[in-house]
C-alpha cells in the first residue's frame, strides 16, 4: 500500500493502515520529525485508546489501554543496541499478542519477529508525506 497525504488526512491514513494490516506489530521508519508519533496517535485512537498518546522517547515504551487489549508504543531512538532492549524485556512485549507500534525499529532488527508490517514515511517537498506499507 502506498499513500501520499497531508497531516489533516491522518485519520483516513490510520484507517487504511488498520484495514491493510495483516499483523499487529507495526514498524515505523522515517527521519526525525516526519510524523511517526502523529500517525501513532491517530492509530491508537482508532484502536480504542483514550490515553494521551505521546512519544516514549525517555521512557522507551508507553502502554495504552483499549477495550480489546493493550497497545505498546516504543520509541527506540535513545537505545544503543539490541542488548539494551533485551535488558528491559522487549521480547515479552514483542510476543504478547497486543498491538506493538515501534519507532526506530532498526535498533533491534535482529530481535524482531517475522510477522510485522513495515511502514516507511518520507516528507515531500510540498509538506505532504509519502507512506509505503509492506
**Fold designation for 2-133:** Rossmann fold (3.40.50)
Task: Match 508525506 to its residue by C-alpha cell.
Answer: 129
78 touches 60 (CB < 8 A): yes
Domain boundaries defined on the chain: 2-133
5: left (phi over 0), alpha (psi -120 to 50) or beta: beta
CB atoms < 10 A from the CB of 41, how many?
21
36 touches 7 (CB < 8 A): no
pLDDT category of residue 56 using cuts at 50, 70 and 90? confident
SS3 assignment, position 35: coil
- Give yes or no for residue 50 having a pLDDT over 90: no
User: 105: which 3 cell numbers?
Assistant: 525499529
SS3 assignment, position 58: coil
Q: What is the mean predicted confidence (pLDDT) over 72-89?
A: 94
* Mean of pLDDT over the chain: 94
70 touches 98 (CB < 8 A): yes
Task: Match 533485551 to its residue by C-alpha cell.
Answer: 86
Q: What is the mean predicted confidence (pLDDT) over 66-73?
A: 94
CA pair distance 126, 58, nearest whole angstrom = 31
Amino acid at each position: 500500500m502506498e499513500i501520499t497525504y497531508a497531516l489533516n488526512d491522518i485519520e483516513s491514513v490510520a484507517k487504511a493502515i488498520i484495514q491493510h494490516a495483516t499483523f499487529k506489530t507495526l514498524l515505523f521508519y522515517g527521519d526525525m520529525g516526519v510524523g511517526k508519533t502523529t500517525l501513532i496517535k491517530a492509530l491508537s485512537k482508532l484502536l480504542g485508546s483514550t490515553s494521551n498518546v505521546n512519544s516514549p522517547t525517555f521512557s522507551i515504551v508507553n502502554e495504552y489501554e483499549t477495550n480489546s487489549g493493550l497497545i505498546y508504543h516504543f520509541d527506540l531512538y535513545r537505545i544503543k543496541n539490541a542488548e539494551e532492549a533485551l535488558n528491559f524485556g522487549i521480547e515479552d512485549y514483542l510476543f504478547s499478542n497486543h498491538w506493538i507500534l515501534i519507532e526506530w525499529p532498526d535498533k533491534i532488527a535482529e530481535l524482531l519477529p517475522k510477522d510485522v508490517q513495515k511502514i516507511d514515511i518520507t516528507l515531500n517537498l510540498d509538506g505532504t508525506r509519502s507512506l509505503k506499507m509492506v
